[in-house]
Amino acid sequence: MAWRSEPPLLAGRAALVTGSSRGIGEAIARALAAHGADVALHGLHDPEALTAQAAALAAEFGVRTLALVGDVADPAAVKGWFQTLFAQWKRLDVLVNNAGVMEGALLGMATPAMIDRVIDVNTKGAIHVLQAGARLMTRHHRGSIINVTSILGTQGGAGQAVYAASKAALLGLTWSAAKELAPQGVRVNAIAPGYIDTDLVRALPPAVQAERAAAIAMGRVGTPADVAGVALFLASDLAAYVTGQVIGCDGGLRA
């Protein structure tokens, strides 16, 4: 997919995309950089690989990049990232809350450790990041925050109660933060991807993959670039009057 436009939609903007070492987050970071944004990448592991990824993105699109490593469930780590962002760029215009973990289990099989980890990362982590990002954005009275939820968060799914609950919480976070931050010039929206071709999906049994793909009205599995296109819109001034919205990106997936 061609992302370039003249002038770039996000020239002069600074962005952070959590969980951007691969998959949907990587595609979103790439789309933002292609449209002129300086982009801070984030990953949980492998600082050297993330630094190399950031350097490659900077070289390809001529933007500034940063590599931030750590766990979104750790408030101290999150605080440190935003201190780095402020020291380096003095601003943040776009925040994409994408980092997450997906662990499935039937209700009776969900362990306390699993429940804690999924909620700590997907829900608490998103709140930690949004809090810190909003503080930086309101200094300049502008910004776009994008929470990546899931079709499971809007419709639920058997065997995914814990994950669905963690992602459904982002809906309330999005709607509430949008109302709170709108007077300060900060927009907050969410994207709810459906069945997207990522490492998580490829790890599913082939029969499960085929069943889910057959339920998509558009007849194809989504790509990370499909989700990135929605994020690019929400990040840009094309969505200047859009806040408090949850946009599905699922190809008409039937529940």
pLDDT at position 255: 57
Angle at 248 between CA 242 and CA 253, to 5 degrees: 160
Q: Which residues pair with 246 in a beta bridge?
A: 190
pLDDT recorded at residue 158: 86
Architecture of domain 14-246: 3-Layer(aba) Sandwich (3.40)
159: which 2 tokens? 């065997």
**pLDDT digits over 188-199, tens only?**
999 999 999 998
Amino acid, res. 241: Y
Report, as residue numbers or ranges, the catalytic residues: 163
Query: Has residue 132 got a pLDDT over 90?
Result: yes
What is the pLDDT, as a whole number, of residue 1? 47
Residues 35/236, Cβ–Cβ less than 8 Å: yes
Tell me which residue of 61, 64, 66, 1 sits closest to 35, measured CA to CA.
61
Q: Could you tell me the CA-to-CA distances from 88 to 80, 145, 231 in Å, in that order?
A: 12, 20, 24
- Nearest Cα to Cα of residue 24 among 173, 226, 221, 167: 226
DSSP per residue, 117-164: HHHIIIIIIHHHHHHHHHHHHHTTT-EEEEEE--HHHHH--TTBHHHH
Domains of the chain, by residue range, sit at 14-246
User: For 172-179, what is the mean pLDDT?
Assistant: 98
For 64, counting Cβ atoms within 10 Å of its Cβ (0-12 exposed, 13-18 middle, 19+ buried), the class is: middle
Q: Does 3 have pLDDT greater than 70?
A: no
The answer for 201, left when phi > 0, alpha when psi is -120 to 50, beta otherwise, is alpha
Average pLDDT, the chain: 94
pLDDT value, residue 92: 97
Residues 198-232 pLDDT 10s: 987 787 778 878 888 899 999 999 999 999 999 99
